[in-house]
Amino acid sequence: MVRGAAGAPAAPLTMDDTTRITYVGHGTVLIESAGRRLLTDPLLRRWAGPLRRYTALPGPDVTGNLDAILLSHLHIDHVDVGSLRLLDRRTPVIVPAPGATTLGRLGFSDVREVATGDVTHFGPVTVEATPARHVVKRYPLMPVSDGVGFLVSGGHSVYYAGDTGPFTEMADIARLLDVALLPISGWGPTLNADEHLTPLAAARCLDLLRPALTVPVHWGTYYPPAMSRLWRGDPRRPALSYARYARVLAPGVAVRILEPGGAVELGPDAVDLGPDSLELGPDPPTGTRPPGG
């Protein structure tokens, strides 16, 4: 059973039956499970093109001693060359085609291209590439490629969706899913709803996934300086909106919103939440559009 509990900051991860999830920011999540450390879509710099990071930079406790780097697709805010240069080039990298060329040029020696359904093992942890509704063109002259998500199974099962629109095959990922990490926003004022999830669309996906716990990602970290006016001074609005919609549309799913840098732990019987969670406001009025989405 998964229970939510507010408590002290997470203790160092020492037990194989404990899974810790740290929301680093944007699409970057550190998943620690069964003694392995996996980092998704690392975006670790203060500036990424015209986008500025508005939260603290991650430290070596996030980027060091990684067992794998999971890259969901080749867009430049998910395969960031400057951020990847900060990581150990000996770390295995999982990436959809044709990402091996880019990673090889950066000096990574163990790059494994995957497609939907491929399974990779890192000791007791398995990583399965799952479908994603997100067509990618990294540069004008590069071929079009597909994105993937990842189902990480170790002490617990954790689904990281990458960037995606809603798709009915999400129901096939469920299989007693413990955690769903769903993107809920972008870095600009609008999203392509066919290939991205708004807070409302992500909340609707919970009915397909049926996880015990969901943590929203891809929000509140990077955006152009002028975006602060569009967020009305509060970049947390997409996350708060997602939690309110999830409470209405998927009342059986626990929602934990983490500020970038915040962590949640899953033990054999409980979820221990550190102090970086956000309090929820009232339920949204029926039929309203999600603010910030």
Q: Which of 8-17, 22-31, 38-47, 269-278 has the lowest mean pLDDT?
A: 8-17
Q: What percent of the chain has pLDDT over 70?
A: 76
For residue 26, tell me if it sits in a domain.
yes
> 3-class DSSP state for residue 264?
strand
Task: Give 229's pLDDT tier (boundaries 50, 70, 90).
Answer: low
101-108 long-range CB contacts below 8 Å, 24 or more apart? Answer: 102/74, 102/138, 103/71, 106/81, 108/84
Give the sign of the dihedral formed by CA 127, CA 132, CA 134, CA 136: positive
For residue 156, tell me if it sits in a domain.
yes
> 3-class DSSP state for residue 163?
coil
Q: What is the pLDDT of residue 17?
A: 81
Domain that holds residue 61: 4-273
Q: What percent of the chain has pLDDT over 90?
A: 63
Q: Decide: residue 213, CB within 10 A, 0-12 exposed, 13-18 middle, 19+ buried.
A: buried
Please check whether residue 246 is in contact with residue 255, taking contact to mean a CB–CB distance below 8 angstroms.
Answer: yes
Give the chain's domain count: 1
- The two beta strands, 68-70 and 36-40, are parallel
Asked whether residue 1 carries a pLDDT value surpassing 50, the answer given is no
Task: Give 13's pLDDT tier (boundaries 50, 70, 90).
Answer: very low
Q: What is the pLDDT of residue 84?
A: 97
Helices assigned H by DSSP within the chain: 60-63, 81-84, 99-105, 170-173, 199-209, 227-230, 237-249
Peptide bond into 98 cis (omega under 30): yes
For residue 290, tell me if it sits in a domain.
no
For residue 87, tell me if it sits in a domain.
yes
- In this prediction, residues 156-182 reach a mean pLDDT of 92
Please check whether residue 99 is in contact with residue 71, taking contact to mean a CB–CB distance below 8 angstroms.
Answer: yes
Residue-by-residue DSSP string for 37-90? EEEES---SSEETTEEE-SPPP-HHHHSS-SEEE----STTTS-HHHHTTS-TT
For residue 283, tell me if it sits in a domain.
no
Query: Which amino acid would we find at residue 229?
Result: R
Task: Give 161's pLDDT tier (boundaries 50, 70, 90).
Answer: very high
Which token pair is 103?
């990673």
Q: What is the pLDDT of residue 10?
A: 38
For residue 195, tell me if it sits in a domain.
yes
User: pLDDT digits over 191-220, tens only?
Assistant: 555 567 999 999 999 999 999 999 999 998
Q: Which of 48-57, 158-167, 197-206, 232-241 has the lowest mean pLDDT?
A: 232-241
Compute the distance between CA of residue 77 and CA of residue 158 in angstroms, rounded to an integer: 22
For residue 288, tell me if it sits in a domain.
no
Give every CB contact of residue 247 below 8 A, 6+ residues apart in sequence: 255, 280, 283
Of 172, 181, 154, nearest in space to 72 by CA: 181
Which token pair is 65?
């001693």
Please check whether residue 114 is in contact with residue 120, taking contact to mean a CB–CB distance below 8 angstroms.
Answer: yes
Of 269 and 17, more confident: 17
For residue 8, tell me if it sits in a domain.
yes
Asked whether residue 221 carries a pLDDT value surpassing 70, the answer given is yes
Compute the distance between CA of residue 253 and CA of residue 213 in angstroms, rounded to an integer: 6
Instruction: Output the average pLDDT for the chain.
Output: 83
**For residue 87, what is the domain's CATH number?**
3.60.15.10
Task: Give 144's pLDDT tier (boundaries 50, 70, 90).
Answer: low
